[in-house]
Amino acid sequence: MKLRAWGLTDVGQKREHNEDSLLVLEDVGLFAVADGMGGHTGGDRASGMAVEILEREMRKVDMASLAASGAGLGPDGDDPPGQALERAARAAGRAIYDAANADTSLAGMGTTLTAMLIFGGRLYLAHVGDSRAYLYRDDRLEQLSVDHTWIEEQVRAGFMTPEEASNSDLRHIVTRSVGYERDVRVDRLAMPTLMGDCFVLCSDGLSNYIDERELRTYMQGNYYSELPRLLVDGANQLGGEDNITCVVVYVANDGSDG
């Protein structure tokens, strides 16, 4: 199995600063998207810290020991690789919170974080906020993450339909972020990977413009290596009111681009 990955971040059409960050580490099998909040200084700082600390903490992990300790024990990531990824995300949260409390200009900063580790033939996902993770397999597209937004909570509780949610002015209210509080609850997921799987991580600057049906169409008709640029361009053409970030990861049996 060989991983091929590509990523792109763009300021969009309306913002002056890019508060998104991304991480693409094929050698580690580690990938992430973070969408900062808290003003252009705080947002950029928070998302940058999130991916930097995620990388630092995961590079400390002895992956051989994780493999020996028994990876692949459960669907919720409650095994050593999933636990390591969650610890790294929570370490980022503590560091961001402490930085915000040490500098009043950064008060209230935080970030989404959607991080993915592919290790031992399995995907491990750690997720906070409203950035998204998708899986494209056998011509089907599935959203793996759950948006931590007020609107999503209303839909899941049956108080609002998906159609009402998509048109609501409140759809951008995030209910969970990395760094806003010192300890954050991280959603985890684990699942086997298959040859030919393609994963997409993106900020809401992309998912707000390109829905699942449209994303599936993009994935059907293009080389995966071209997707980040095509998707970012597509979101910009539809308005580009936010920063736009996309990471595409392809599970290949050779060095092909899908």
256 within domain boundaries: no
In sequence order, the 6+-apart residues with CB closer than 8 A to the CB of 122 are 71, 72, 81, 190, 191, 192, 193
Give how far the C-alpha of residue 2 lies from the chain's centroid of Cα atoms, to the nearest Å: 21
Question: In the predicted model, what is the mean pLDDT of the chain?
Answer: 91
- The type of residue at 199 is F
153 within domain boundaries: yes
Token pair of 43, please? 């947002």
pLDDT digits (tens, 9 = 90+) for 137-153: 999 999 999 999 888 88
- Residue 256: pLDDT above 80? no
Q: Are 219 and 211 in contact (CB under 8 A)?
A: no
pLDDT digits (tens, 9 = 90+) for 166-176: 777 777 789 99
Domain span at residue 83 reads 2-250
Run of H or E residues at 20: strand 20-25
Looking at residue 1, what is its pLDDT?
A: 81
- CATH code assigned at 48: 3.60.40.10
255 within domain boundaries: no
pLDDT digits (tens, 9 = 90+) for 152-169: 888 788 778 877 777 777
Q: Are 41 and 161 in contact (CB under 8 A)?
A: no
Looking at residue 157, what is its pLDDT?
A: 81
Q: Are 201 and 136 in contact (CB under 8 A)?
A: no
Looking at the structure of the chain, the number of domains it has is 1
Give how far the C-alpha of residue 154 lies from the chain's centroid of Cα atoms, to the nearest Å: 22
257 within domain boundaries: no
76 within domain boundaries: yes
pTM: 0.92
Tell me the β-bridge partners of 31.
Answer: 24, 116
What is the 3-state secondary structure of 213-235? HHHHHHHHHCCHHHHHHHHHHHH
Looking at residue 64, what is its pLDDT?
A: 74
pLDDT band at 69 (very low <50, low <70, confident <90, very high): low
In sequence order, the 6+-apart residues with CB closer than 8 A to the CB of 237 are none
Run of H or E residues at 187: strand 187-192
